[in-house]
Structure 1
């Protein structure tokens, strides 16, 4: 069931990526990095080679790198994601093509294209997969040098951006570079937003009821610290729990109903590993 959910999420992400590329970047010759950007450059010189076809051929070569350096799990998902992305783009080119850009505003097209495709790529990356191409290089940099995915993608895409500058001129080349920078930022924000959980610290006279609610109703574990007030010298228990946004809202409403004098602090935790959260894989 978990695997099915992962592949469904990857597919949803791929649709976003394909739409951003095919309907915003390709019609405007905006080669904003990646194999898709390289495909746009190649398509300019060799119109008979479609963007989807070139992406498929290039990604097949890079699959072996993913298997060897990152592992079979990442490689298998990347094969699915890359073939899926190439296939979706091919379907869009074949059955839902557009003859010209949607608007005459190049900057607007770039922003929407990057936002849509960046959200999709963030979803795919978060499932320990990749849309292929330079994303594989970015994942390798992330694994071995602990560079954020967005920044690693920026590094790996600079060569493609240079090719866009030479092919389409300085203006579109600079737009492409801006697109690469925005793309990295969007991906990091999406991944961070998906993985962020709430660390909630609670001091209340109703700790037993609150602990029971967390364990029984939310299905989460709770840690108890012994705290002493600096002003009153009074000793109390402090409950600490990690929750999703939705779970935190339920807990907040429950505490509000039983103890309006409770003291609560909430912090964002960007990633949590272990039971009930992400696995270490």
Structure 2
């Protein structure tokens, strides 16, 4: 499967999650946690003759024009697909599975399920250099030019929408919406970090040559050798450093255990790796 097809398959999965979280949990409770959907919920309350799905499409059309102009063609094309696709999914749900009341009476349950399903979907989409539209586009601009974490950027751009929800639906729902925005941002960042998580492994072993060959030939990863000296013994040593994904880390650990049970290994989490064998620097 080519990278482009894989990107769109993964974006579609994220898109379905976002639409499901919004439609089945957040929208019935008027929980406007930001984004085009949050603004659409508020606007639908003021102008009920247009559905939330229609408002989402209108808002996204305006904002993805901004994405084309400011962020670039690649991001814009993927965002058109994801944002309009999410909006049309919401419209489809409205037609085939109409919901006239919240699924449950507990607003905390609605908020929790809605946030976790939609925020994980947003994180998946963000990780493919796209957006589900709405204020996510503004968040991507803040991330691109000022380096603000995507989740925190979403929080900033969505704050005004929660204020509008407070005026439209009352302070209680406004406060729940604000809480939702905060949790939403944290879940997005956690999702992206979890998807990109790799392991940086430093190895000191008498069998470093065998381990190096295993990393290069079997794991098809690169490695770096540092020459070091033991502080206590004064012995000359080699420190082998590599970065691998979680699956390959298990394989590497098992191999080291087989060839040198006395090897000294330190492991640290790395949340983004750019370069050969990982993400392109421009992604």
TM-score by length of 1: 0.98
TM-superposed deviation, 1:47? 2.5
User: What are the residue-to-residue correspondences of 1:236-275 with 2, within 5 Å?
Assistant: 236-275=237-276
Partner residue of 1:45?
A: 46
Partner residue of 2:117?
A: 116
SS in 1 for 2:83: helix
Q: 2:42 and 2:81 mapped to 1: Cα distance?
A: 24
Partner residue of 2:78?
A: 77
Q: Deviations over 1:128-157 (max 9, x none)?
A: 101111011111111111111111111111
After alignment, is 101-110 or 178-187 more displaced? Answer: 101-110
TM-superposed deviation, 1:186? 0.5
Q: 1:216 and 1:94 mapped to 2: Cα distance?
A: 54
SS in 2 for 1:275: coil
Q: 2:262 and 2:60 mapped to 1: Cα distance?
A: 58
SS in 1 for 2:276: coil
Q: 1:182 and 1:161 mapped to 2: Cα distance?
A: 13
Q: 1:227 and 1:269 mapped to 2: Cα distance?
A: 23
TM-superposed deviation, 1:60? 0.7
TM-score by length of 2: 0.97
SS in 2 for 1:7: helix
Give unmatched runs, 5+ long, in structure 1: none
User: What are the residue-to-residue correspondences of 1:1-281 with 2, within 5 Å?
Assistant: 1-281=2-282
Q: 1:185 and 1:207 mapped to 2: Cα distance?
A: 40
Number of aligned positions between the proteins:
281
Q: 1:214 and 1:98 mapped to 2: Cα distance?
A: 54
Q: 1:52 and 1:239 mapped to 2: Cα distance?
A: 54
Q: 2:130 and 2:152 mapped to 1: Cα distance?
A: 17
SS in 1 for 2:231: coil
Cα RMSD (Å) of the superposition? Answer: 0.9
Q: Deviations over 1:222-258 (max 9, x none)?
A: 1111111000000111110000000000000111111
Q: Deviations over 1:98-143 (max 9, x none)?
A: 3321211101110110111000000101111011110111111111
Give unmatched runs, 5+ long, in structure 2: none
Q: Deviations over 1:176-222 (max 9, x none)?
A: 00000001101011111111210000011111211111111100011
